[in-house]
A = this chain, B = another copy of it.
Amino acid sequence: MPIKYCNQCGASTVIKIPHGDNLPRAVCEGCGFIQYENPRVIVGCIAEWEDKILLCKRAIEPRLGYWTLPAGFLENNETSQEGALRETLEEANARATIIAPFSLIDIPHINQIYLLYRAQLANASFSTTFESSEVALFNETTLPWDEIAFAAIKKSLEHYFDDKRKDIFTLHVETINVSTQKK
């Protein structure tokens, strides 16, 4: 949604390049305040229990009815690991501990950057939530590969089971662009 008004004084904004900058920004015609827009970080967990991982079936839009890893926007005043564990609790009622960062995926055309951590579930306790109509453990064979909600999640799951077969987990860094996502 393009910015039209100053969120500090309520006057109209114009799109222009501020002095000392090189990109157009929403600048207030009244008080001069600049509203910057930057990519958002999505944090989440690949949470392991025995030989399986936890997935959630989305009960809300976007991608209602598709499966995803517990993940969501990083909030102010939390670390990326705290955010990943919070999303796991909020979306799956599951408690986990972080093992290591697993995937770092830029999606520049929608201004998102995913940071997913491998994590260990504290126990086999999880349940549906406001955001998830089903929560379940899957291995590579049982996972609903054709019903994954988001490209970055599918990429991360593919890398996860590749690594699991080799028994060596590394950080996967990549970019999803418009053409990748259409595949």
Using CB atoms and an 8 Å cutoff, list the residues of chain A in contact with chain B: 1, 3-13, 20, 22-23, 26, 33, 35-41, 60, 73-82, 90, 100-101, 104, 106, 108-109, 111, 113, 115, 130, 171, 173, 175
The distance from the CB of A178 to the nearest CB of chain B, in whole angstroms, is 11
Measured CA separation A76–B55 after assembly (Å)? 29
- Given A74-B113, A77-B111, A101-B171, 15 more contacts at CB 8 Å? A1-B8, A3-B8, A4-B9, A5-B6, A5-B7, A5-B8, A5-B9, A10-B10, A38-B41, A38-B74, A77-B108, A79-B106, A80-B106, A81-B175, A104-B104
How many copies the complex holds: the figure is 2
10 sampled A-B residue pairs with Cβ under 8 A = A5-B5, A6-B7, A37-B76, A38-B40, A39-B75, A76-B111, A79-B108, A101-B104, A101-B171, A101-B173
Query: Chain A interface mostly helix, strand, loop or mixed?
Result: loop
Task: Assess whether B77 is in contact with A106, with CB atoms less than 8 Å apart.
Answer: no
Task: Assess whether B7 is in contact with A35, with CB atoms less than 8 Å apart.
Answer: yes
Task: Assess whether A41 is in contact with B113, with CB atoms less than 8 Å apart.
Answer: yes
Contacts of A175 in B (CB 8 A): 79, 81
